[in-house]
């Protein structure tokens, strides 16, 4: 408080609008940006250029690679791996829809019904982030084990007959089937759906619900006409935050799936780290990126939300 | 009919709690199986109760080494990403300059890109430069992907700040440095802390980008990944449980402190 008492008597302060613009170096924003942006350019943008060039190279690991504008790598990659691409989109899409269906009630509960439990529930949603997601994914092996309770219950209810007929499971097993992979993906990316949903639901003025009730809207009508439309920004960013990482994931397919459930991520990982076929791997990851960008752009246009994150 | 109505009225709460159960189920399994005494190499089936793993968490070769390496990387990555990200956030909120749109997209893109794409492209850069894969390449990668998240977190906080508070400080003859240290920084602190916490969690838990750029260096997630093939020691569950508890306690403590402060102010 010393600064206040030491200060000379205050001159009448001018109204805020008349205040002359503070003198600030014109270059200040650039100095603030420089280190971080340089980091992103060198370690994010530049690598993309390197990868683009790698994808059109030919050669071998021993003799070295040359840029030969060999675009055929792209065609070969699509021809060889289109099932994995389709599978990635199908799994990630299903997981995203499940995340929305499962996440919405919980986000709604935290935003409107939790009362003094709100912070505790929020902590319980975030805290699993700090337990390695690999350990938690491995735990699903125990939960979905052949002799475990989940398989037992599903079998008794004859659910597995239906899912096997649909191709989601195989016989009496859940592990090493698409169902297990989708379950793992849903689980792993669920918090990325809940948090944006909660943020956008929390912003909704509770009086709007009362107004809808006063106008004789039934609870479900209120939800359909008021709550859900107002939560659209959260729905859009939540689905993107779930779908994008899920479509590139290879951990769930590897730990919970089998060779029949391989996704693009698995192929890219194998090509890059085991087979060391860099051009094919680079082409595959570019196709994945382009595909996702296309889907995301289309989706954002359709849902009409521009302000993301 | 009473039961049905009761159920209908609480449908959202029940569905929400079921989802919460789904989220926490693996954590419960991890905790329970940290007290298991498995017979084979894998800790997927319950055998018998034992506290051996808790009394000897470092009893497995390389486990605690990988854990301390991950903590070090996460600490440095948090520091780097938080400093760089806070600077960018301030520049974006406080100044109008030409390349703003381009900077915003460059910040947004890493968050909108599948990790495997970033991981693979970064590896091609390192391979082309002939860089030695290990601690430094992991750290570089982690700072890179944590940066955007820090910027987003800090930006949200700085944007909601009342600029008149800083003007008031300057009216009271505080210099630019004094204003920044005593007014701006304390107000922005919760945003910076949230960004740092997020960076730490992301870096500590990252597997995909590390998998590509670690070479033969083994971080904790890499150790877990390897053990899924070779055999999973119970100690992994002990560390997973401990991390969950530490995280919950930290956040609870933070909330108690901020509650008390708010009450004192009131």
Taking residue B164's Cβ as centre, other Cβ atoms within 10 Å add up to: 10
Of the candidates B27, B106, B141, the beta carbon closest to that of A40 is on B106
What would the mean pLDDT of B193-199 be, rounded to a whole number?
A: 92
- At B103-147, the pLDDT tens digits run 999 998 998 899 999 999 999 999 989 999 999 999 999 999 999
How far apart CA B14 and CA A302 sit, in angstroms, is 32
In Å, what is the CA distance from A212 to each residue of A215, A216, A222, A224, A233? 5, 7, 6, 11, 21
Res A9: pLDDT: 45
- At B151-176, the pLDDT tens digits run 999 998 898 888 888 888 888 988 88
| Least confident among A73-82, B37-46, B235-244 | B37-46
- pLDDT at A279 > cutoff 50: yes
Taking residue A10's Cβ as centre, other Cβ atoms within 10 Å add up to: 10
Q: Which two tokens stand for residue B196?
A: 């740092």
Residue whose C-alpha is closest to residue A192's, from A236, A140, A148: A236
Which of A183-187, A291-295, B182-186, B240-244 is predicted most confidently?
A183-187
B194 touches A at CB < 8 Å: no
How far apart CA B238 and CA B220 sit, in angstroms, is 13
Res A79: pLDDT: 93
What would the mean pLDDT of A109-138 be, rounded to a whole number?
A: 89
Which residue of A lies nearest to B95 if distances are taken between CA atoms?
A: A29
Angle at CA B180, nearest 5°, toward B176 and B182? 115
Residue A294: partners with Cβ closer than 8 Å, 6 or more residues away: none
Strand partners, A59: A65
> Are B203 and B142 contacting, i.e. CB atoms less than 8 angstroms apart?
yes
B51 touches A at CB < 8 Å: no
Chain A residues with CB under 8 Å of B106 CB are 37, 40-41, 44-45
* CB pair distance less than 8 Å for A133 and B205: yes
Rg (CA), chain A: 26
Strand partners, B49: B36
How far apart CA A84 and CA A78 sit, in angstroms, is 9
Chain B, window 161-180: residues with a beta carbon less than 8 angstroms from a chain A beta carbon: 164, 167, 170-174
Q: Which two tokens stand for residue B39?
A: 């017979």
| Least confident among A74-88, A207-221, B207-221 | A207-221
Res A141: pLDDT: 92
A149 touches B at CB < 8 Å: no
* CB pair distance less than 8 Å for A190 and B23: yes
- pLDDT at A8 > cutoff 80: no
First-residue to last-residue Cα distance in chain A: 40
Q: Which two tokens stand for residue A263?
A: 């996704």
Sign of CA dihedral A266, A272, A276, A278: positive
> Are A279 and A73 contacting, i.e. CB atoms less than 8 angstroms apart?
yes
Res A6: pLDDT: 44
Res A304: pLDDT: 66
* CB pair distance less than 8 Å for A50 and B124: yes
Chain B residues with CB under 8 Å of A130 CB are 201, 204-205, 243-244, 246-247
* CB pair distance less than 8 Å for B171 and A13: yes
- At B28-79, the pLDDT tens digits run 999 999 999 988 888 888 888 988 889 888 888 889 999 999 999 999 999 9
DSSP state of A60: E
Question: pLDDT averaged over chain A?
Answer: 87
A103 touches B at CB < 8 Å: yes
ipTM reported for the complex, 2 dp = 0.90
Chain A, window 152-191: residues with a beta carbon less than 8 angstroms from a chain B beta carbon: 187, 190-191
In this predicted model, which residue has the larger pLDDT, B162 or A44? A44
What would the mean pLDDT of A111-115 be, rounded to a whole number?
A: 89
Res B196: pLDDT: 95
B143 touches A at CB < 8 Å: yes
B120 touches A at CB < 8 Å: yes
Of the candidates A36, A48, A268, the beta carbon closest to that of B87 is on A36
* CB pair distance less than 8 Å for A50 and B121: yes
Question: pLDDT averaged over chain B?
Answer: 91
Chain A, window 32-61: residues with a beta carbon less than 8 angstroms from a chain B beta carbon: 32-33, 35-37, 39-41, 43-48, 50-51, 54
Rg (CA), chain B: 23
How far apart CA A184 and CA B24 sit, in angstroms, is 13
Res B195: pLDDT: 93
How far apart CA A308 and CA A301 sit, in angstroms, is 12
* CB pair distance less than 8 Å for B237 and A145: no
* CB pair distance less than 8 Å for A35 and B87: yes
Question: DSSP 3-state assignment of A170?
Answer: strand
- pLDDT at A124 > cutoff 60: yes
């Amino acid at each position: 408080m010393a600064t206040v008492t030491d200060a000379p008597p205050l001159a009448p302060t001018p109204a805020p609008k008349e205040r002359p613009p503070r003198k600030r170096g014109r270059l200040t924003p650039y100095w603030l940006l420089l280190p971080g942006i340089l980091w992103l350019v060198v370690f994010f943008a530049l690598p993309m250029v390197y990868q683009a060039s790698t994808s059109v190279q030919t050669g071998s690991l021993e003799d070295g690679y040359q840029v030969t504008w060999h675009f055929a790598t792209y065609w070969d990659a699509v021809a060889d791996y289109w099932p994995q691409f389709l599978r990635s989109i199908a799994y990630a899409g299903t997981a995203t829809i499940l995340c929305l269906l499962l996440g919405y009630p919980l986000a709604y509960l935290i935003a409107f019904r939790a009362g003094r439990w709100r912070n505790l529930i929020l902590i319980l949603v975030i805290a699993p982030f700090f337990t390695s997601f690999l350990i938690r994914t491995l735990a699903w092996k125990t939960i979905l084990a052949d002799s475990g309770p989940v398989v037992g219950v599903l079998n008794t209810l004859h659910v597995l007959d239906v899912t096997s007929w649909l191709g989601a499971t195989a016989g009496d097993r859940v592990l090493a089937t698409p169902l297990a992979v989708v379950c793992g993906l849903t689980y792993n990316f669920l918090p990325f759906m809940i948090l944006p949903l909660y943020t956008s639901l929390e912003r909704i003025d509770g009086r709007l619900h009362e107004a809808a009730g006063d106008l004789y809207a039934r609870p479900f009508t209120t939800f359909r006409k008021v709550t859900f439309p107002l939560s659209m920004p959260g729905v859009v960013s939540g689905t993107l935050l779930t779908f994008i990482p899920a479509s590139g994931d290879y951990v769930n397919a590897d730990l919970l799936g089998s060779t029949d459930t391989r996704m693009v991520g698995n192929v890219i990982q194998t090509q890059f780290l085991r087979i060391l076929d860099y051009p094919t791997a680079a082409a595959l990851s570019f196709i994945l990126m382009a595909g996702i960008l296309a889907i995301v752009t289309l989706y954002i246009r359709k849902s009409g939300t521009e302000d993301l994150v | 009919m009473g039961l049905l109505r009761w159920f209908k009225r609480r449908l959202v709460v029940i569905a929400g709690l079921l989802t919460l159960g789904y989220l926490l189920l693996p954590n419960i399994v991890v905790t329970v199986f940290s007290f298991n005494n498995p017979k084979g190499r894998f800790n997927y089936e319950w055998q018998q109760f034992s506290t051996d793993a808790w009394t000897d968490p470092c009893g497995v070769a390389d486990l605690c080494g990988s854990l301390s390496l991950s903590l070090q990387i996460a600490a440095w990555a948090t520091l780097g990403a938080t400093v760089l990200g806070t600077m960018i956030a301030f520049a974006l909120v406080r100044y109008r300059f030409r390349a703003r749109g381009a900077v915003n997209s460059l910040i947004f893109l890493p968050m909108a890109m599948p990790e495997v794409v970033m991981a693979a492209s970064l590896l091609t850069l390192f391979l082309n430069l002939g860089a030695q894969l290990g601690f430094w390449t992991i750290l570089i990668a982690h700072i890179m992907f944590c940066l955007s998240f820090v910027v987003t977190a800090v930006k949200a906080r700085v944007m909601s700040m009342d600029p008149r508070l800083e003007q008031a400080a300057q009216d009271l003859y505080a210099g630019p440095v004094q204003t920044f240290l005593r007014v701006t920084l304390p107000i922005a602190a919760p945003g910076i802390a949230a960004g740092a916490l997020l960076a730490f969690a992301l870096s500590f838990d990252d597997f995909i980008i590390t998998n590509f750029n670690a070479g033969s260096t083994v971080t904790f997630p890499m150790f877990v990944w390897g053990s899924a093939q070779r055999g999973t020691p119970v100690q992994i569950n002990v560390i997973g449980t401990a991390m969950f508890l530490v995280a919950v306690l930290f956040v609870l403590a933070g909330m108690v402190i901020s509650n008390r402060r708010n009450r004192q102010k009131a």
